[in-house]
Chain A
Amino acid sequence: MIPLFLGFAAMLVITSLMVVLHKNPVTSALFLVLSFSSLAGIYLLLHAEFLGMVQIVVYAGAIMVLFLFVIMYLNLQHDVETGVQIAVRRGIGWLAGAVLLLAGATLLRRGWALGPANEMLPDEASGNVAAIGKVLYSRYLFPFEITSILLLVAMIGVIIIAKGRARSAGETT
């Protein structure tokens, strides 16, 4: 387990760095897909099979495909490297990174004790799909439904915005 974890973790770190460091946006997006996949691998090692698979279905399979779709459509070649706005943005980026690094360093300097060996581990046979379903539809039903309504509202909003733009474009021409 440990070598597998180290492998996935190393891949996660390297690919995440490549997402930020690579100049070509399409390649960056592909590295992001790889980092999502290595994260899914870590979930699998933690016996969170459902989470791992959903990570791939939703992030790598749906969201990143749409990202890639947009990037290809815009035909971006390289980042814009000059300009005041870019310099300000870069400065803010460095600042945020430094703060994050500081927070991480302080967190890691504290002595962390290993918790009890996962009391909540569901039985192997049914796996955690059944466990997640039970918890989601009993204890966390209200947040779950609220999230669904939020997504529904967002979906309707997107459709209305897209439709409105098409109509106004039709009127002007």
Chain B
Amino acid sequence: MLAELWSNPAVQTLTWALVKVLIILHAMLGVVSYLIFAERKICGHIQARVGPNRVGPFGLLQPIADVLKLLFKEEFIPAGANKVVFHIAPILAVFPAIVTFSVIPMGPPPMFVVTDINVGLLLFLAMSSLGVYGITLGGWASNNKYALLGGLRSSAQMISYELAMGLSTIPVLLASSTMSLVGIVQAQAGAYKVGTIAGFDLFLPNWGIFHWYLVLPFVIFLITAFAETNRAPFDLPEAEGELVAGFHTEYSSMKWALFFLGEYMNMLVISAIAITLFLGGYHGPGLGIGGGGFWDPGPAWMGLVWFMVKLGAFMFFFIWVRWTYPRLRYDQLMNFGWKVLLPAAIVNVLLAGVWIFLKGPRA
């Protein structure tokens, strides 16, 4: 009976997808709690402090203490709040990030990707555009003027920067001529010869940013990524100096933690997408592990390792920037988004289109 059911390919696909989803979900929850720890540690060192170091060796058990503290805190709902929306908003802040992870190839497919759909990139754009709701509604439902201001700021900011982000992904599509994230990564496999220096062949990986027309989109994508995740220097929606804490002023206990979780999950997702589009995804030199040459991809798990290494570097970059740069003023933010990023992205789409039409995508 069970064997008969298992022989159905649809059942197999569904079961494996569910298993992968469960693994990703729990891994992400664990990673996020340690990301917060890393953020506190790195911020401490940047500010010439030590950071949390009391709970466990090197403070490694600090995340557990943090989560327990949040769980036991009183949950407060302000008078006059729209109760239903107040409860839904934190969920809306988390779910788009989790959904997007289902199409990201974290290693060679089909093993390390939940599903490969031919509109993977569009799914990411759709989910990031839905990400506005959590923050905006959270701010509105709190019935607090600071929260509302934070929420409105966030929606204006995210809509403005979404355009530049969408346009910055178009050259990638032109280069790989597919919208499937797996296809985009596979188009970046291998290495190409740059030239010969002193009789020595010089190779570069075939990643997106090693093609000149994808350098500017990468920079634009990175900048908009900070705006989309509401991280410094674009953290105007929370701006603790002027808006108390912005959209989550009235949130407490685990609901507040969900907003926090959403922010870090969004960082993870947007970094993973940046890696997939511009940094070769899970591709990387196998370094001769598994018997191949230096540029051979090596065994499948090497792909996962490379992906995680890149993801870690990105997360460090996010944290580094947050504790280094001051916040932009609101008019600066809007001017920069509409008058610098958007025109630059459009011009780059044109240039990349002409170049790819004349010379082919991999030149």
Contacts and interface: CB of A to CB of B under 8 A. Distances in A.
Given A65-B155, A69-B152, A69-B155, A129 B119 contact: yes
B179 interface: yes
Interface residues of B, number: 27
Interface string B106-142: 0000000000011100110110011011001100100
A57 B148 CA distance: 24
24 contacts: A26-B140, A27-B84, A27-B85, A30-B85, A30-B137, A33-B133, A49-B119, A49-B122, A52-B119, A53-B119, A53-B122, A56-B126, A56-B129, A57-B122, A60-B126, A60-B130, A61-B126, A65-B132, A65-B155, A69-B152, A69-B156, A72-B148, A126-B178, A127-B118
**Interface size class of chain A, counting residues whose CB lies under 8 Å from the partner chain:** 20 to 34
B258 to A, nearest CB: 18
A52 B140 CA distance: 28
Contact of B118 (A26, A33, A129): A129
A54 interface: yes
Interface in A18-69: 24, 26-27, 30, 33, 49-50, 52-54, 56-57, 60-62, 65-66, 68-69
Contact of B119 (A62, A69, A127): A127
A72 B152 contact: yes
B186 to A, nearest CB: 13
Given A68-B155, A129-B179, A50 B119 contact: yes
Contacts of A69: 136, 152, 155-156
B159 interface: yes
B295 to A, nearest CB: 28
B68 to A, nearest CB: 33
A57 B155 contact: no
Contacts of B125: 53, 57, 61
Interface of B: 82, 84-85, 117-119, 122-123, 125-126, 129-130, 132-133, 136-137, 140, 148, 151-152, 155-156, 159, 162, 178-180
Nearest to B136: A68
Interface of A: 24, 26-27, 30, 33, 49-50, 52-54, 56-57, 60-62, 65-66, 68-69, 72-73, 125-127, 129
A26 B136 CA distance: 12
A124 to B, nearest CB: 8
Contacts of A24: 82
Contacts of B132: 61, 65
A53 B103 CA distance: 14
Contacts of A26: 82, 85, 140
Contacts of A129: 118-119, 179
A61 to B, nearest CB: 3
Given A27-B85, A30-B85, A65-B136, A73 B152 contact: yes
Nearest to B163: A62
Nearest to A51: B119
A129 B180 CA distance: 10
Nearest to B151: A72
A66 B159 contact: yes
B64 to A, nearest CB: 36
B130 A56 contact: yes
A33 B129 CA distance: 12
Nearest to B128: A61
B362 to A, nearest CB: 19
